[in-house]
Amino acid sequence: MPRISIVPFSPSDRYHLLLCELDDTMFIVDCGWPAENDSDDAQTDRGKQQRGSIGSLDDPRDALGTINWERVDFILISNYEQIRLLPYITEYTAFSGPVYATEPTKAYGRCVLEEGLSAAAKKRYSASTSASTSRNGSNSSNSVSAGNNGRGGQSQLYSKRDIVAAMEKITDVRHNETVSPVPFVQAYTRSSGYCIGAGNWSVEYKGHKTAFISTSTFATCLHPQEWDGKILSEAQAIVFCDAVDPATSPGNDAADDVPTASWQNVQVSQRLNQLCSTAISTLKQRGRVLLVGEPYGVTQDVVQLAAENILALNLPQPQFIFVSPIAERTLQFGNIMGEWLCEGKQALLYLPEYPFADKELRKKGHLHFVSSLADLATKNIPQGNWFVVIPPHDIESIDHFVRQWHQDAQRCSSADMASGTGLAKFTVLIHDDDAARAQRLVNRLSIGPEVTFVPVARRFTFHSIEQCLAAAERAQHVLVPSHVFARLESQTKSSEFRLFEFSYMQATTVDLDTDRHLPLEVQGEMARRMREKGKQHGLVEGKLTLAAGKIRLECLDEASRNSEDGQDQVAGAGAGFRVTAATTASTTTSALATAPALKKRDLDRWTPERLAEELGEVGLKATVVSTPSQNKAVRVVVAGGSATICMDNGNGNGWSVDCSSASAQWTVIDSLRRVLKASL
């Protein structure tokens, strides 16, 4: 019976790094970790109790050092937010396996890593400058040197060269493209709807599919490709890697009588419209807008919506300014990776226009990119209405614009306002759904009504998970984070699947049932026969074939079976051979019988020694053994199990094949069929 073991290594509920083990196969799902600027936000009481003395948010190396990286076979990355630790893993551990991600995840992930590196360097420089002004020169230099050589921050984990090397080791995949990282394991990804290129991975092992649901959303009003729910209907085990902690949620729980998918789509659309209308209202009054957000994701939707409304209302076009070293690349990726966008944006690719507004703004000279405030001072940007976009971690730039605009508003006279040349109004828009981080920023600005905090919550809540489970037709085991386990447990007590919880640095092990190793059509036929006879096991007769890795059973009806049985009795032949596959280690076995492909006189010409030799020639490890009834048999050992071929079972039914697993059954039956067919 295969087993899956999962150990979460990230102490944050927003970022995740799961160490998964399926029997002897070990792999990593996502390499997420809170950014250095988010460390304070993630230091919750729950997190402090769970982390103990193993590692810290600033330095994850202690936690990663507990993993035997030589045993890790491969890594799966879901989206560009869950990639922060990948360069350290690929360059500074013993991991040497493949890494799989979609093309946008790789492209945006590199931007995210480089921006994080730049922000960390800027933070160190500011800290060293501050120290220099408060201490004497010798003490300051020693302090800076010690800070740069120490292990006190994520900034020391890797360099820009390590980022480039890590990106070269990623294998690009497309949605629904199947890859086989190691033998007997297959994996593919389906769209999660969260961001461009984001996907949820499904790993298949010994006929079992385990779905890993990373950061996802049901909203269809955003620019990424929509949520693909097939990932759930195909899985026997489901792991929800990401879910909003109800204790820290910004109050976005769905109403009980409203479908979660519809509610979330309406809610996200309303929040985007609210942000846009606030920006338009400010620009109408010749004001300026500061949008706090990364230059990708929801920020692209807000900028797009604002640009379209400004044009529709025939308002003066403001100057759109992005303060970020990666903004220009991320906006270009949105245009050139059109096949990863939603259906509405993809339709624009076939028209003479771009799916986003940045091309038109650039053509008119209203789009500007600056890497920092120092770079802004060298740009010749017309004064007036500005629409500025700054990442939330760039506190220095946010403080600069807010302070400068506040001073301009105070200096603006009534004459300036009357002449229409004054800039007395400005608005700060924040759409971050991390309520703690956003609230801290609001408290820092302390400028009253000029700040508009409208969180655009897209991540799954326990209501979303509950709706997902309603569509999980084949689910047997479901694993969820501990902070949503209690609420889901009370809602899913009558469900057919078993619910498990996992938490930071705690191993959760689940036994995967093997009764679903057989193909669905065989299961369905067996279930029908069992219901007809009222028994706990069923006998299905037909022709069992294996081709292109797919097993197929062609069942015989009663008339043809009776006719063939009569012909065999006249000819003096018994049944061809029978296959028995064990369902579990201790329960009753279920039987499958094949149609008589050979007559008894053909089978009588075979000996155990000859059969073992023939099977050995086709690549199987076969030996002659003795059965409890003192008859000789052939034992075959293959990857994933073994089989015993009894050439005379003493009841006149010919040969029988007892298999320890479904994977062994497929391999042995196919080889046996080819050997017997070649002898005719």
Residues 308-365 pLDDT 10s: 999 999 998 999 999 999 999 998 888 788 889 998 888 887 776 677 888 888 888 9
pLDDT of 42 higher than 60: no
Structurally, the chain folds into a number of domains equal to 3
Say what the pLDDT of residue 288 is. Answer: 92
Residues 213-238 pLDDT 10s: 999 999 999 999 999 999 998 898 99
Query: Rounded CA gap, 428 and 451, in Å?
Result: 5
Task: Say if 476 falls within a structural domain.
Answer: yes
Strand partners, 189: 201
More confident residue, 447 or 367: 367
pLDDT of 517 higher than 60: no
Question: Using an 8 Å Cβ cutoff, are 40 and 32 in contact?
Answer: no
Residue with tokens 């608005």: 427
Task: Say if 86 falls within a structural domain.
Answer: yes
**Same domain (yes/no): 500, 449:** no
Say what the pLDDT of residue 36 is. Answer: 67
Give the lowest-confidence range in 82-96, 257-271, 525-539. Answer: 525-539
Say what the pLDDT of residue 350 is. Answer: 75
Whole-number percent of the chain with pLDDT over 70? 72
pLDDT band, very low/low/confident/very high, at 257 (cuts 50, 70, 90):
low
Say what the pLDDT of residue 529 is. Answer: 66
pLDDT of 558 higher than 50: no
**Same domain (yes/no): 315, 381:** yes
Contacting residues for 371 by C-beta, under 8 A, at least 6 apart: 323, 324, 325
pLDDT of 391 higher than 50: yes
Helices (H), ranges, 428-497 = 435-445, 462-470, 482-491
More confident residue, 576 or 383: 383
Say what the pLDDT of residue 565 is. Answer: 43
Say what the pLDDT of residue 120 is. Answer: 83
Query: Rounded CA gap, 168 and 162, in Å?
Result: 10
**Same domain (yes/no): 493, 583:** no
Say what the pLDDT of residue 251 is. Answer: 56
pTM over 0.75: no
Task: Say if 254 falls within a structural domain.
Answer: no
Q: Among 438, 453, 468, where does a domain finish?
A: 453
More confident residue, 71 or 142: 71
pLDDT of 43 higher than 70: no
Distances (CA, A) of 127 to 30, 34, 320, 376: 31, 20, 30, 22
Say what the pLDDT of residue 276 is. Answer: 95
Q: Among 491, 511, 531, where does a domain finish?
A: 511
**Same domain (yes/no): 429, 531:** no
Question: Using an 8 Å Cβ cutoff, are 410 and 423 in contact?
Answer: no
For 73, other C-beta atoms within 10 Å of its C-beta total 18
Q: Which of 142-146, 432-436, 530-534 has the highest mean pLDDT?
A: 432-436
Query: Rounded CA gap, 141 and 157, in Å?
Result: 22
Instruction: Please give the structure tokens belonging to residue 154.
Output: 């994520």
Whole-number percent of the chain with pLDDT over 90? 33
Q: What mean pLDDT comes out for the span 240-248?
A: 83
**Same domain (yes/no): 118, 144:** yes
Backbone angles phi, psi at 99, to 5 degrees: -125, 135
Say what the pLDDT of residue 438 is. Answer: 82
Q: Specify the CATH number for the domain of residue 190.
A: 3.60.15.10
Q: What mean pLDDT comes out for the span 86-109?
A: 95
Give the three-class secondary structure for 576: coil
Q: Specify the CATH number for the domain of residue 305.
A: 3.40.50.10890
Task: Say if 228 falls within a structural domain.
Answer: yes
Domain that holds residue 640: 520-679
Report the DSSP pairing between strands 319-323 and 508-511.
unpaired
pLDDT of 639 higher than 80: no
Give the lowest-confidence range in 180-189, 212-221, 262-271, 555-564. Answer: 555-564
Q: What mean pLDDT comes out for the span 446-465?
A: 84
**Same domain (yes/no): 192, 313:** no
For 659, other C-beta atoms within 10 Å of its C-beta total 25
pLDDT of 621 higher than 90: no
Average pLDDT along the chain: 78
pLDDT band, very low/low/confident/very high, at 47 (cuts 50, 70, 90):
very low
Say what the pLDDT of residue 50 is. Answer: 44
Q: What mean pLDDT comes out for the span 474-478?
A: 88
**Same domain (yes/no): 211, 330:** no
pLDDT of 632 higher than 50: yes
pLDDT of 586 higher than 80: no
**Same domain (yes/no): 491, 542:** no
Give the lowest-confidence range in 67-81, 152-166, 276-290, 474-488. Answer: 152-166
Give the number of residues written for the chain.
680
Q: What mean pLDDT comes out for the span 654-661?
A: 74
Query: Rounded CA gap, 508 and 237, in Å?
Result: 13
**Same domain (yes/no): 565, 476:** no
For 666, other C-beta atoms within 10 Å of its C-beta total 24
Question: Using an 8 Å Cβ cutoff, are 528 and 542 in contact?
Answer: no
Instruction: Please give the structure tokens belonging to residue 595.
Output: 């149609």
More confident residue, 558 or 635: 635
**Same domain (yes/no): 87, 213:** yes
Give the three-class secondary structure for 263: helix
Residues 127-169 pLDDT 10s: 777 666 665 554 444 443 334 444 444 557 899 999 999 999 9
- Half-sphere exposure at residue 418, Cβ-oriented, CA atoms within 13 angstroms: 3
Task: Say if 177 falls within a structural domain.
Answer: yes
Task: Say if 21 falls within a structural domain.
Answer: yes
pLDDT of 564 higher than 50: no
Task: Say if 255 falls within a structural domain.
Answer: no
Q: Among 453, 474, 494, where does a domain finish?
A: 453
**Same domain (yes/no): 540, 470:** no
Task: Say if 50 falls within a structural domain.
Answer: yes
**Same domain (yes/no): 218, 329:** no
Question: Using an 8 Å Cβ cutoff, are 340 and 348 in contact?
Answer: no
Query: Rounded CA gap, 219 and 254, in Å?
Result: 13
Say what the pLDDT of residue 563 is. Answer: 46
Q: What mean pLDDT comes out for the span 359-374?
A: 89
Q: What mean pLDDT comes out for the span 489-498?
A: 77
